[in-house]
Amino acid sequence: MLLDCQSFYASVEKAANPEYADKPLAVCGDPLRRSGIVLAACPLAKKAGVTTAERIGDAIGKCPDIIVVKPRMQEYIRVSLQISDIYRTFTDLVEPYSIDEQFIDVSGSSKLFGSAKDIARSIQQQVKEATGVWVRAGISENKILAKMACDNFAKKNSEGIFELPQKDIAKDLWQLPVNKMFMVGSRMMNHFMIMGIHTIGDLAKVPLPRLKTMLRTRFGKQSDIQAEQYWRIANGIDDSPVTLDTHDTQKSIGHQMTLPRDYRSLEEILVVILELAELVCQHTRAKGYMGWVVSVGCMGADYGRPSGFFRQMKMPDPTNLAEDVYEIAKILIDKHWDKQPVRKVGITLSDLTSDQEYQYVLFGDREKKMGLAHTMDRIKERYGDASIMKAVSVSKAGQAKDRSNKIGGHYK
């Protein structure tokens, strides 16, 4: 089953503040940092028309008495882990999908706890009593159908539970518009509409070879995998098991951030690039990796007319040292930046390899630098990321101090 926490951030805040129980509430970003959007809205706020990702001002216009609360990401993570522990009392097969959604496999739990619906009801009760959060459950034979059962049916009924057996998808699922299918957004829906595909059933009934030809005609030669993915989802086919290590395979480590204003000079941009290089390398060392390839991205503020670049370069030796990554990043920025204002920047280290084996360098003091980096990591782990920083981070362009108070771009 796919278990989803209703209006998760808002539910946590309402549970922590009982006086808000019967009032519309939204968890929003910080408007002073140009991130004043709705991250989560409670059902009362949604009933008034408030939607996720809209601006705070628009939400207040729709619902003047709405209570606006800043996010507390550390608390949401704590509650999410608490809920995961409750799931594990029913099965050891718990796979996180997001902070508020998790797959669980209860195939082997029925002798202890009853049917899948019985287990879902027990989970709802225990999570509600422990955290104040209401959980919805989509149930089926595989993950993709469980996800669509939750999104399209369990979230819409009062019980918050819906079982979608494979044998019933023609009756229940295929009647829905194609944009109700997992992985189909508004843009892909428009493409399907033009191809004469209006419902999930329309897509499921197209023979796979024909669908591949249709997508190749529309998107080019590299569409066969995409076509098969859509066809399998529409037909409720998913062979992937619920596993504990789904997210353990690390292919790259990166970080990006939206800046509080336009950065127009190379000097300012490089301050943030250095900070991101420090952060990415700190995470890389913590996970026991080095990386061969450095990728850098810069984007302008006008998303209607995109500007910027995303380029990469392979190094002669793998590294997890910020100064090495920074030097490559400078080369990429010097070569590809079009001198337009920058609002979003990012750095990624990929082609990862274990830090337990690497080539010694005949000249230089690499081992000394690596020892120093690990010492700095221990200081930051104990006293916080802002406890030790580069001097440029205290300049007007620096973001490290502010970022140290956040998780995932939002205040802890």
Examine the pLDDT at 34 and tell me if it is beyond 50.
no
Q: Are 15 and 166 in contact (CB under 8 A)?
A: no
The answer on 228 and 273 residing in a single domain is no
The structural domain count of the chain equals 3
Domain boundary among 53, 72, 91: 72
Examine the pLDDT at 354 and tell me if it is beyond 60.
yes
The pTM of this model reads 0.76
Query: Which residues are catalytically annotated?
Result: 101
Q: Are 139 and 146 in contact (CB under 8 A)?
A: yes
The answer on 304 and 228 residing in a single domain is no
The answer on 226 and 258 residing in a single domain is no
The answer on 395 and 271 residing in a single domain is yes
269 versus 359: which is more confidently predicted?
269
Asked if residue 208 belongs to a domain, the reply is yes
CATH code, 180: 1.10.150.20
Query: What six digits make up the tokens of 277?
Result: 């290089």
Q: Which range among 43-47, 99-103, 159-163, 261-265 shows the weakest confidence by mean pLDDT?
A: 261-265
Amino acid at 107: S
Domain boundary among 38, 72, 106: 72
Domain boundary among 72, 93, 119: 72
pLDDT at 18: 94
Q: What is the pLDDT of residues 276-320, one digit of tens each?
A: 999 999 999 999 999 999 999 999 877 667 778 999 999 988 999
Classify residue 48 by burial, with Cβ atoms within 10 Å: 0-12, 13-18, 19+: middle
Average pLDDT over residues 380-396: 87
Average pLDDT, the chain: 91
The answer on 324 and 260 residing in a single domain is yes
Q: Are 148 and 4 in contact (CB under 8 A)?
A: no
Query: What six digits make up the tokens of 383?
Result: 């006293």
The answer on 336 and 272 residing in a single domain is yes
Asked if residue 346 belongs to a domain, the reply is yes
Average pLDDT over residues 46-75: 92
The answer on 396 and 259 residing in a single domain is yes
CATH code, 296: 3.30.1490.100
pLDDT at 308: 87
* Closest to 246 (Cα-Cα) out of 101, 89, 76: 101
44 versus 369: which is more confidently predicted?
44
Highest mean pLDDT of the ranges 123-132, 285-294, 378-387 = 123-132
pLDDT at 301: 75
pLDDT at 359: 73
The answer on 286 and 367 residing in a single domain is yes
pLDDT at 30: 67
Classify residue 189 by burial, with Cβ atoms within 10 Å: 0-12, 13-18, 19+: middle
Average pLDDT over residues 389-411: 79
Q: Which range among 8-22, 174-188, 261-275, 362-376 shows the weakest confidence by mean pLDDT?
A: 362-376
Could you give the strand order of the β-sheet that contains 252-263, starting from the edge strand earlier in sequence? Answer: 252-263, 342-354, 289-299, 308-319
Query: What six digits make up the tokens of 270?
Result: 């490089």
Query: What six digits make up the tokens of 355?
Result: 């830090």
Asked if residue 372 belongs to a domain, the reply is yes
The rounded distance, in Å, linking the Cα atoms of 286 and 297 is: 23
The answer on 272 and 204 residing in a single domain is no
The rounded distance, in Å, linking the Cα atoms of 142 and 239 is: 7
CATH code, 38: 3.40.1170.60
The answer on 329 and 209 residing in a single domain is no
Asked if residue 293 belongs to a domain, the reply is yes
DSSP, res 315: E
Q: Which range among 145-149, 231-235, 319-323 shows the weakest confidence by mean pLDDT?
A: 319-323
pLDDT at 128: 97
Domain that holds residue 385: 252-411
**Percent of the chain clearing pLDDT 70 (strictly above):** 94
Amino acid at 176: L
Query: What six digits make up the tokens of 112?
Result: 């202890």
Average pLDDT over residues 69-98: 94
Asked if residue 358 belongs to a domain, the reply is yes
* Closest to 28 (Cα-Cα) out of 14, 41, 38: 38
Asked if residue 101 belongs to a domain, the reply is no
The answer on 309 and 230 residing in a single domain is no
